[in-house]
Amino acid sequence: MSNKVATTVYLTEKQQSQLKELNHRLKIPMSELIRQGIDLILKKYDESLSGQISFFEERDLK
């Protein structure tokens, strides 16, 4: 399992209610459901992220 960092996410009441319902039905922690959702968005926009130079690669070019 990879390291995790803490962050704050503000949800609408409906989003929170639906996440709680999924948590109850599927027995999957809300934090895991949120991470899965983020993974879906990152995959969707992967082309926008690819081709970026990381901080370390950019620093090495100077």
How confident is the model at residue 57, as a pLDDT?
54
- Determine the average pLDDT of the residues in 29-55: 85
In a domain, 1, yes or no: no
The predicted pLDDT at position 52 comes to: 61
Please indicate, yes or no, if residue 4 is contained in any of the structural domains: no
Asked if the structure places residue 2 within a domain, the reply is no
Sign of CA dihedral 17, 11, 22, 32: negative
Residue 17 resides in a domain: yes
Q: CA triplet 18, 23, 32: central angle to 5 degrees? A: 100
Domain count, the chain: 1
- Give the pTM: 0.72
Domain membership flag for residue 51: yes
- Which residue segment(s) compose the domain that 53 sits in? 13-61
19 domain residue, yes or no: yes
41 in a structural domain: yes
Q: What are the φ/ψ torsions at residue 9 (nearest 5 degrees)? A: -130, 130
pLDDT tens-place string over residues 3-15: 999 999 999 999 9
pLDDT digits (tens, 9 = 90+) for 47-62: 888 766 555 555 554 4
